[in-house]
Amino acid sequence: MWSLYSAAITALVATSFLIFALRPIARNLDFVDRPGGRKTHSGEIPIVGGLAMFIGLLLSLAMLPEEVRPPASFTATAFVFVCLGLIDDRLNLPALVRLLIQIGSVIGMAVAGALSVEYVGSPFGAGTTIFAPGMALFVTVMLVVGAVNAINMIDGIDGLAGSVGLVALLGIVFIALVGSNATVLGTAAVLSAALIAFLVFNLPMGINRGLKVFMGDAGSMLIGFSIAWMMVALSQSPETPVAPVTLLWLAALPIYDMVATGVGRVRRGQSPMRADDTHLHHRLMRKGLSARATLGVLSATAVIWAVTGLLLDVIFATPEWLSLAAFFAAGVLTTSTIERWGGALTRR
């Protein structure tokens, strides 16, 4: 356990140091995000958070005992996603190109690492569901690529992607600790520490105004992929103390945001991958909430749904089909409430 504490501290310190070190380099290389269009921040912000977290993650994982480190397929795929994110931050790649690279990377990870979603429990109320290898690979690609893009899409205001990612990671830490899954526990703990270090430089606080950095697509893809990989690993382990459907609740908010935004775009005759200002945080801010208040509302919502999912399983032993139905109902409730009553929050 001491090695885990040491690794987490290393991730925290290394990520913080790297952010300091990379900020001036990013400015010299013009690797910064400028305001304009949908971007409402002030000044030129270095996009180094994702790279700093990844290097901090690698350094801290190396401190863990070899038998509990994640497999090479995880590290290699995370590296691909970080590189893809860095290139996208610089060149703004077409959405289809990003998607194809993401799909190829996940297929490679699933095949090389022999990890895919075969067992999904009993979410349909008709006995245990076990997918054949081909279907398992398809479901794995859909879930992992979906998670990567869900975190990427919700990264629209300071602190939001990092906060909802941290909620999911802490939920994973709890589940892995109870289920004695040392590999997932170590990976989730050190990534949480790296993410906390990043949030110190990213949350909308006055004290960090002159040191602010963004995680960029490199960071959001790293967080999204890592969370998805851990959830897949937990869902396939017989020692995991919760049903696979419960894991969805940990990332409920970004999933709801991605689905609501994508459905809205399709209804308007647009591509679901087209960037716009219809995300949940955009809707709240149009109702008059400040960026800080919007962050608070959405972060609290993420915590509420994550805790709800865990309580439904661990405390109330809710049938999996009912938990899945409640998950969908919570999504409708979240999006409709934000759209219908968001304005009421501004008057309180």
Dump pLDDT digits (tens) for 6-38.
999 999 999 999 999 999 999 999 999 987 555
3-state secondary structure of 216: helix
pLDDT of 42 reads 62
Q: What is the pLDDT of residue 210?
A: 85
Containing H/E element for 45? Answer: strand 45-46
Percent of the chain with pLDDT over 90: 84
Residue 341 has what pLDDT? 66
- The per-residue pLDDT for 343 is 46
Q: Which residue type is seen at 36?
A: G
pTM of the model: 0.94
Q: Map out the domains of the chain as residue ranges.
A: 2-345
pLDDT confidence band for 235 (50 / 70 / 90): very high
SS3 of the chain: helix, strand, coil, percent, to 5: 70, 0, 25
Confidence of residue 241 (pLDDT cuts 50, 70, 90): very high
Strand partners of residue 32: 46
Q: Which two tokens stand for residue 25?
A: 């380099």
Instruction: Indicate the average pLDDT of the chain.
Output: 93
**What is the C-alpha separation between 344 and 348, in angstroms, rounded?**
7
pLDDT for the residue numbered 246: 98
* pLDDT higher than 50, residue 61: yes
Average pLDDT over residues 272-281: 88
238 phi and psi angles, rounded to 5 deg = -65, -15
Q: Is the pLDDT of residue 85 over 70?
A: yes
pLDDT in tens, 183-207: 999 999 999 999 999 999 999 887 8
309/326 Cα distance (integer angstroms): 9
* pLDDT interval class at 345 (50, 70, 90): very low
